[in-house]
Amino acid sequence: MPSASRSVTPTTSVIEDVVDKYADDIVALRRDLHAHPELSWAETRTSDAVVTALEAAGWTTTRPDGGGVLAEIGHEGPLVALRADLDALPVDDLISDPWRSTVPGVAHACGHDVHTAGLVGAGLALAEVAARGLLLGRVRLLFQPAEEVMPGGALHLISAGALEEVSHVFGLHCDPSLDVGRIGLREGPLTGAADALTVRLIGKGGHTSRPHLTEDLTFALGKVITELPAILSRRLDPRAGVSVVWGMVRAGSAHNVIPHGGVVAGTVRMLDAVAWADAEHLIRQLITSIVAPYSVTAEVTYQRGVPPVVNHAVSTRLLGIALENVLGQQGHVTTTQSLGGEDFGWYLDSVPGAMARLGTRTPGGPTYDLHQGNLRIDEAATCIASRVLAEAAVTALSAG
């Protein structure tokens, strides 16, 4: 997308030319991954495709035990990392394109097929940059498993050495509310912390005509559902943006039977890392207090998930320069912090880095939502991701 405001360097031109040359292959890879989605920790075929494409281009690849792919190019100098996630979601694919999922109940409904193909495309471009002697350091590609499960596969790759010697790490995430050709970026917090909460209640059941002889577990479960979010809003700083949302409730099997067990499960999200540190202890305490009048027993499973993604100032500036070199100033738009969880935050707990939101909506077209089976992606976004990620790497290396 040419623009008078773009800064076109020789390296930028190489990246653009290579991505244009392989555009059909990059899109074909995205379609193939979409048609053959794999769930968290089972991304074997996807990893095979990544390794095949990158090794043919001259990258050295390794496959850590447990999943994922690390790829590296360059022999000396500073090291920059680029990350994509590999896994799909357990939802039905509702699109009608020829590349719709061939796996029942599994679909790329969060755009990870775009992330993966886009990073492979960046790898093809960076291989050519290196071949021409224009790569001022080293680049490592992180193809991460299991972003969709808590606490996320980022910790797995970090333990495998993915961030050793890394000076900056960059990533993109599909945003179906942004038009293709636009990328949303902000310094500081980009996403929220996200935890998983399950509350299982156990008590004496009985007939609904005699609730006084039971522990009325269903009523107690309803109290947990409504009162926990309400009390939290008074016990934590409202600026933390704490949100408890239930996704599953299960109790009983007949209209006139008070059950002896029930369960409710959901997520706990917040904008603030300080509140995240305190949330689990407070929530456990509150649940005990809420159910105490009903004499039921509460079993609480609280799984700490992912911290907020907090973009580093210098890394954000470098990523902003890179995306403007690709898209011009009009392609660089501001964005807001969301409550969505993203385990890219674990990387940023260890090294400086930044994540941006990749516009995937066709201009004038409908706005879809992530984690829905009807998600449609404007495929031009895939090659834009390739160019921006490759440009981010060379921009950061050029900055030293």
Nearest Cα neighbor of 359 from 131, 186, 184 is 184
Annotated catalytic residue 87: yes
H or E segment to which residue 95 belongs: none
Distance CA 49, CA 184 (A): 29
Please identify which residue in the block is written with the tokens 């929530």: 283
Q: Which two tokens stand for residue 229?
A: 């979010």
Question: By CB neighbour count within 10 A (0-12 exposed, 13-18 middle, 19+ buried), where does 379 fall?
Answer: buried
Distance CA 395, CA 173 (A): 20
Distance CA 324, CA 304 (A): 36
- Active-site residue among 128, 147, 215, 216? 147
- Active-site residue among 16, 43, 85, 87? 87
Instruction: Specify which residues 248 forms β-bridges with.
Output: 265
Annotated catalytic residue 227: no
H or E segment to which residue 197 belongs: strand 193-202
- Residue 217: left if φ>0, alpha if ψ -120 to 50, beta else—which one? alpha
Active-site residue list: 87, 147
